[in-house]
Chains A and B, each alone.
Chain A
Amino acid sequence: MSRVHDLMAWPVRLLVLAAVRAWTGARPLWAGEPPGGRPCVYFANHTSHGDAVLVWATLPAHQRRRLCPVVDAEPGGATALRRFLARCLFAWPRPAGDSGAATLQGHSLLVFPEGCRNTGEQALLPFAAPLYQRRQAHPEMDFVPVWIANMRRVMPPGEWLPLPLACTVSYGVPLVRVDGEDEATFLARAAAAVLALRPEEET
Chain B
Amino acid sequence: MILDALPLQDPTWQLFAGTLAVLLVASIVGGLLKWRVAQGRPHAVIDNLNSRVNAWWVMVALLGVAFTFGKPGALVLFAFTSWAALREYITLTHTRRADHLALALLFYLVLPLQYFLIWIEWYGLYSIFIPVHAFLVLPILACLRGDTRRFLERTAKVQWGLMICVYCVSHVPALLTLEIPGYEGRQLLLVAYLIIVVQGSDVLQYVWGKLLGRHKIAPELSPSKTVEGFVGGVASATLLGAALHGVTPFTPLQSAAVALTLCLMGFLGGLVMSAIKRDRGVKDWGTLIEGHGGMLDRLDSVVFAAPMFFHIVRFWWTP
**Complex: chain B residue closest to A168, CB-CB:** B287
Check: B95 CB closer than 8 A to any chain A CB: yes
A75 touches B (CB below 8 Å): no
Contacts of A161 in B (CB 8 A): 100, 104, 108
User: CB distance A159 to B286 under 8 Å?
Assistant: no
B91 touching A166, Cβ below 8 Å: yes
Given contact pairs A25-B288, A156-B100, A200-B281, A164 touches B95 in the complex (Cβ within 8 A): no
Instruction: Report the bound CA distance from A156 to B145 in whole Å.
Output: 14
7 contacts between A and B (CB under 8 A): A25-B286, A25-B287, A163-B100, A164-B87, A166-B88, A200-B281, A201-B92
Whether A150 touches B281, Cβ cut-off 8 Å, given contacts A161-B108, A164-B107, is: no
In the complex, chain B residues whose CB is within 8 Å of the CB of A201: 92, 280-282
Taking chain B's interface residues, is the majority helix, strand, or loop, or is none over half, making it mixed?
helix
Q: Is A83 part of the binding interface, using a Cβ–Cβ cutoff of 8 Å?
A: no
Complex CA–CA separation, A163 to B108 (angstroms): 9
Are A153 and B95 in touch, CB under 8 angstroms? yes
Given A161-B104, A163-B104, the answer on whether A156 and B97 have CB atoms closer than 8 Å is: yes
53-104 of chain B: CB within 8 A of chain A: 83, 87-88, 90-92, 95, 97, 100, 103-104
Given the known inter-chain contacts A25-B288, A153-B95, A156-B97, please indicate yes or no for A163 contacting B103, CB distance below 8 A. Answer: yes
Which of chain A's residues have a CB closer than 8 A to the CB of B92?
201
- CB nearest neighbor in B for A119: B97
- Using a CB-CB cutoff of 8 Å, which residues 153-173 of chain A contact chain B? 153, 156, 159, 161, 163-166
CB neighbours (8 Å) of A153 from chain B are 95
B285 CB, nearest partner CB in chain A, Å? 9
A166 to B100, CA, bound (A): 15
* A64 CB-CB contact with B under 8 Å: no
Q: Does A87 contact B (CB under 8 A)?
A: no
Taking Cβ atoms with an 8 Å cutoff, the residues of A that contact B are 25, 27, 150, 153, 156, 159, 161, 163-166, 200-201
Contacts A153-B95, A156-B97; A163 near B107 (Cβ below 8 A): yes
Classify the interface of chain A: helix, strand, loop or mixed.
loop
Contacts of A156 in B (CB 8 A): 97, 100
By a CB distance below 8 angstroms, the chain A residues around B287 are: 25, 27
A88 to B251, CA, bound (A): 62
Further contacts, 20 of them, CB under 8 A, given A163-B100, A166-B286: A25-B87, A25-B286, A25-B287, A156-B97, A156-B100, A159-B97, A159-B100, A161-B100, A161-B104, A161-B108, A163-B103, A163-B104, A164-B83, A164-B87, A164-B107, A165-B90, A165-B91, A166-B88, A166-B91, A201-B92
Set of chain B residues within 8 Å of A165, measured between Cβ atoms: 87, 90-91
A27 cross-chain contacts in B, Cβ below 8 A: 287
Q: How far is B282's CA from A161's CA once the two chains are assembled, in angstroms? A: 28
Q: Which residues of A contact B281 (CB under 8 A)?
A: 200-201
Chain B residue contacts of A200, Cβ below 8 A: 281
A-contact bits for B280-296, CB 8 A (1 contact / 0 none): 11100011100000000
> Residues of A contacting B104 with CB < 8 Å?
161, 163
Q: A159 to B100, alpha carbons, bound, how many Å?
A: 8
Give A203's nearest chain B residue, CB to CB: B281
Q: Is the CB of B108 within 8 A of A150?
A: no
A200 to B280, CA, bound (A): 10
Cα distance A57–B91 in the bound complex, in angstroms: 19
* Min CB–CB distance B165 → chain A (angstroms): 12
Chain B residue nearest in CB terms to A153:
B95
Q: Which residues of A contact B88 (CB under 8 A)?
A: 166
Q: Are B108 and A166 in contact (CB under 8 A)?
A: no
Nearest CB of chain A from residue B204's CB, rounded to whole Å: 30
A161 to B92, CA, bound (A): 20
Inter-chain contacts of A159 with B (CB < 8 A): 97, 100
Nearest 8 A/B pairs, CB to CB: A166-B91, A161-B104, A165-B91, A156-B97, A164-B87, A159-B100, A163-B103, A164-B107
